[in-house]
Structure 1
Amino acid sequence: MAVEPLTSGASGRINALFSLRALRSLLLLLNAVVLFLILPFRGTRRASAIGSGEKVGKEEKQESRWKGSSSSSSAGVVRVPVAMLPHRRAAAVVDQEAAARRSLAIQRVVQDEDDQTVREFSLFTSARGDTLFTQSWTPVSVIVRGVVVLLHGLNEHSGRYSDFAKRLNANGFKVYGMDWIGHGGSDGLHGYVHSLDYAVTDMKMFLEKVLAENPGLPCFCFGHSTGGAIILKAVLDPKVEAKVSGIILTSPAVGVQPSAPIVVMLAPIVSFLLPRYQVSVTNKKGLPVSRDPEALVAKYSDPLVYTGPLRVRTGYEILRITSYLQQNMNRLRVPLFVLHGMDDTVTDPGASQKLYEEACSTDKTIKLWEGLLHDLLFELEREAIMDDIIQWLNCRV
């Protein structure tokens, strides 16, 4: 039976989001917003002109209608019940949806029965007060020689890497995973990223927590796609660099190029005015992110994976962090292992090659896989890829 190609829920559509076609759609929406903002002022000006010839008594009657029945209320103040405020209702819906995702994430951890691994979850509070879902995988009968902090890619969650975490457990590595804001079991609108700097800051705080729980053990960071970009920006901080023994990146988001230069100029404006707006053209099907049909079905039938259209702000944040990394690759000094599929259409394998060449790390390795797509750990060759990562880790503990 033929399997219809499935695409990444959002991370593979940055180019589509900031294409000229999408830009025209956004400009039409912006035009409507501007008209909506201008019309009330035009109406007020017209009403003033008409009202100038009317009697003062009529104005007094109109004013009296706005006064509250209580003498202590100020004239012209209208009190609106909290339940009638749209933004509060929307926030409540987002909170309920995040709570449902968190419940499912917790349920999966609790129901994971494995004699060789102890899987646990914990809730981590960010500096902004957001609740982030984190989990860990600890080997039962193998001595722990090192720690790996794992960051998933855009639209997915840490639980998708459970098989990989257990392989690391079998080789003496305890694994920690964090669902960054707007993803998996963490707070936030599903798939929405207001600022990737939030995720970078959260990752740093989580890393401090992991290091405190595992004193004396070498700590490595693994990141996929946008998760790799978050890790890269974090380790450019000298304080973080000094605490990390190495980083492993699969298909890192260090190179995303919009279709036209004007898009780069308009992206910050549109993302500021309409941050959560979704462009329907970015939700079209295209090339798959894995050549394994079963892996694709598992990913896109998972309710913890976001599969809706990419929001404008999220796309802009990816452009922003990739631009920063492009300009700061030569500041990278930690041991580095980059893996990328040569047929990846989501993130650029050429940008990974550039990262490898420009990084100042004295210990750096790159492996480009011919014919493989974006989700390397869910490709048909996943076992060989895991073996390469484990071998790289074993040589550094």
Structure 2
Amino acid sequence: MICSSSRTIVIPREAKFQYPKIYKHSHLNVKTYVYHWKPRFQSKDFSRLIRSNFRRMAIEPLTSGASGRINALFSLRALRSFLLLLNAVVLFLVLPFRGTRRASAIGSGEKVGKEVKQESRRKGSSSSSAAVVRVPVAMLPHRSAAVVVDKEAAARRSLAIQRVVQDDDNETVREFSLFTSARGDTLFTQSWTPVSATVRGVVVLLHGLNEHSGRYSDFAKRLNANGFKVYGMDWIGHGGSDGLHAYVHSLDFAVTDMKMFLEKVLAENPELPCFCFGHSTGGAIILKAVLDPKVEAKVSGIVVTSPAVGVQPSHPIFVVLAPIISFLLPRYQVSVTNKKGLPVSRDPEALVAKYSDPLVYTGPLRVRTGYEILRITSYLQQNMNRLRVPLFVLHGMDDTVTDPQASRKLYEEAASTDKSLKLLEGLLHDLLFEPERETIMDDIIQWLNCRV
């Protein structure tokens, strides 16, 4: 048969065509072809049929069917095709920059695949009756990357838990707990509770970029000795929490998580004044959180050291390119901050301890993380005058990571009636790991004691 609307020819096997009889319908101006079948197939008759069919297609005038195909150019299906083409072009343009990352992911996937294979061999003797087919993870690059990230986060969490369990200080009870965020991520949290001192207040501690809450254990124990129970949270992508190490898709996630964690702490300590301490980017997270009137009403004061309210990128062009690159290649790493880069302490032993810690990220900054820091600093610069909680700001004047003059501006523009600023000559970024750390801790504790 021949269907004139779709030009479809269906030929039965072992068939023969006679030359078709043609009937013309005057009222439709359409020719109808009727074919009679014979038992045998003859190629010359079939060739004649094909020529006749194509001749008819060539002279047929434009009809509504063709106009429908033209209208289809503006349909949703055409739009989807265009978007797919555009996506392919973008991937083609950025492909040279993704080579290293893809190779790394696949390499990690192959490693995981070998481990799975070895596991299956070990179990093969006990379950030989059931044939199990395991697909190497390297064959699934996207899933392998997720598996590697999850495995790496689990290893970090295990180490963070181990350090809490092995801390046998007689003056402090150190405990850990796992906290689930609104997005379903598992966050590692820990607490330090004084054994002999009476608890007079609570401090919620937030670490800086690339580090974790466990680094502030000495500071937490000093607070314990002065009657303050301390809670620490590893924000997303850090320490024992979920996520790619040191990758933050949005610092608003960390702000939201901090608010939820603060609610949990307040529920456990309803009658105690609650303070917040944050270092560097952790300080910026706390500052943005307390701009929320609901959080502001529940916090008795905040202390920030070297807050990230003013950050200078490695090159001015990064400010322009950051939104674009962070969208296209969010996990791409830029060599602007690592262990061979900007100094953060004048104490050599403190530097060795930091950069030999597996829970501290020492690799290049990820583009999305850097862009998120620029974004939160820009927000704080425009909203400093909304800050009304009691505030204590400390900053080293020789800090090359965050701008000490931005801390001065924070102090001057904050609407807080109770605010203090201490700029320390010659000190660098990590104030609580400088040689003068004991004096700085005493200043913070004295400020807290005056507000309990």
Instruction: State the TM-score bracket (shorter-chain normalisation).
Output: 0.7 to 0.9
| Matched residue SS, 2:162 | helix
Change (3 A) 1:269 1:112: same
Q: Secondary structure at the match of 1:123?
A: strand
TM-score by length of 2: 0.71
SS at match of 1:118: strand
Return the alpha-carbon distance in structure 2 between the equivalents of residues 223 and 163 of structure 1: 15
Separation of aligned partners in 1, 2:111 and 2:175 = 74
User: 2: distance between equivalents of 1:8 and 1:287?
Assistant: 70
Tell which structure's C-alpha radius of gyration is larger: 2
CA distance in 1, matches of 2:330, 2:367: 5
Determine the C-alpha separation between the residues in 2 that align with 1:10 and 1:155.
61
Q: How much has 1:71 moved relative to structure 2?
A: 34
Q: Deviation per CA, 1:311-358, whole angstroms, max 9, x where unpaired?
A: 100000000000000000000000000000000000000000000000
Asked whether the equivalents of residues 8 and 288 of structure 1 are also in contact (C-alpha less than 8 Å), the reply is no
Where 1:24 maps in the other structure, the secondary structure is helix
**Aligned length, in residue pairs:** 396
The CA deviation at 1:263 is 3.1
Return closer, same or farther for 1:87/1:394 CA change in 2, 3 Å cut-off.
Answer: same
Name the CA shift for 1:323/1:51 in 2 (closer, same or farther; >3 Å). Answer: closer
| Structure 1 residues 346 and 16: CA distance shift in structure 2, 3 A | farther
CA distance in 1, matches of 2:197, 2:75: 50
Q: Where do 1:146-295 residues align within 5 Å? A: 146-258=201-313, 262-280=317-335, 282-283=337-338, 285-295=340-350
Q: CA deviation at 1:85?
A: 2.5
1:91/1:395 Cα in 2 relative to 1: closer, same or farther (>3 Å)? same
331, 337, 340: which one aligns with 2:392: 337
C-alpha distance 239-344 of structure 1, shift in aligned 2 (>3 A): same
How many angstroms apart in 1 are the aligned matches of 2:176 and 2:297?
Answer: 27
Question: Which of 9, 12, 17 is the equivalent residue of 2:73?
Answer: 17
What secondary structure does 2:365 align onto? coil
User: For residues 12 and 345 of structure 1, what CA distance do their matches in structure 2 show?
Assistant: 65
Deviation at 1:15, TM superposition (A): 51
CA shift in 2, pair 1:82/1:230, >3 Å:
same
**Segment of structure 1 superposing worse, 58-67 or 369-378:** 58-67
Q: What CA deviation, in whole Å up to 9, does each residue of 1:190-225 have, x standing for no partner?
A: 011110000000000000000000011000000000
- What whole-Å deviation, never above 9, does each CA across 1:158-204 have from its counterpart, x for those lacking one? 00000000000000000000000000000000011110000000000
Correspondence for 1:52 among 105, 108, 125: 108
Consecutive unaligned residues in structure 2, runs of 5 or more: 1-56
Deviations 1:234-259 (A, max 9, x none): 00000000000000000000001336
Residues 171 and 230 of structure 1: is their aligned pair in 2 closer, same or farther, counting only changes over 3 Å?
same
Q: Note if contact 2:105-2:144 (Cα within 8 Å) is conserved in structure 1.
A: no
Asked if 1 retains the 8 angstrom alpha-carbon contact of 2:117 and 2:134, the reply is: no
Deviations 1:263-322 (A, max 9, x none): 323211110000000124554724421010000000000000000010100000000000
Structure 2 vs 1, CA of residues 45 and 125 (structure 1 numbering), >3 Å: closer, same or farther?
closer
Counterpart contact for 1:20–1:259, Cα < 8 Å: no
1:2 aligns with 2:2: no
CA gap 1:12/1:220 in 2 versus in 1, 3 angstroms: farther
Alpha carbons 1:67, 1:74 under 8 Å: kept: no
1:63 is matched with 119
Cα contact 1:14–1:258 (8 A) shared by 2 = no
Shift of 1:37: 5.9
Q: Please state whether the residue corresponding to 1:174 is helix, strand or coil.
A: strand
For 1:5 and 1:139, how far apart are their aligned partners in 2?
92
Secondary structure at the counterpart of residue 394 of structure 2 = strand
Q: What do you get for the CA RMSD once the two structures are aligned?
A: 17.5
Distance 1:205 1:32, change over 3 A: same
Quick one: structure 1 residues 184 and 38, their matched pair in 2 at CA, closer, same or farther if it must change by over 3 Å? closer
Q: Is residue 113–residue 136 contact of structure 2 (8 Å, CA) maintained in 1? A: no
CA contact (8 A) 1:255 1:351 kept: yes
1:41 is matched with which residue?
97
Residue 36 of structure 1 deviates from its aligned partner by 1.5
Give the CA deviation at 1:109.
Answer: 0.2
Cα distance in 2 between the residues matched to 1:262 and 1:70: 61
Q: Displacement, 1:144?
A: 0.3
Q: Distance in 2 between matches of 1:266 and 1:145?
A: 48
- 1:5 shift after superposition: 81
The alpha-carbon deviation at position 152 of structure 1 amounts to 0.1
Structure 1 spans left out of the alignment, 5+ residues: none
Structure 1's 82 and 20: CA in aligned 2 closer, same or farther, altered over 3 A? closer
- CA distance in 1: counterparts of 2:247 and 2:176, whole angstroms: 23
> Hey, what's the Cα distance between the residues in 2 that align with 1:9 and 1:349?
71
After superposing the two structures, state which structure 1 stretch, 55-64 or 371-380, moved more.
55-64
Q: Is the 8 A contact 1:16 1:281 kept in 2?
A: no
Equivalent residue of 1:34, what SS?
A: helix
Percent identity of the aligned residues? 92
Q: Report the Cα distance in structure 2 between the residues aligned to 1:264 and 1:234, rounded to whole angstroms.
A: 24
Aligned 8 A contact 1:282 1:310 in 2: yes
Separation in 2, partners of 1:377, 1:291: 11
In 2, Cα distance between equivalents of 1:377 and 1:9: 76
Question: What is the Cα deviation at residue 101 of structure 1?
Answer: 0.3
Summarize the Cα distance change of 1:57–1:38 in structure 2 as closer, same or farther, 3 Å threshold.
same
Instruction: Report if aligned partners of 1:274, 1:312 keep a CA contact under 8 Å in 2.
Output: yes
Cα distance, 1:269–1:368 mapped onto 2, change above 3 Å = same
Q: Which structure has more RCO (C-alpha within 8 Å, separation ≥ 6)?
A: 1
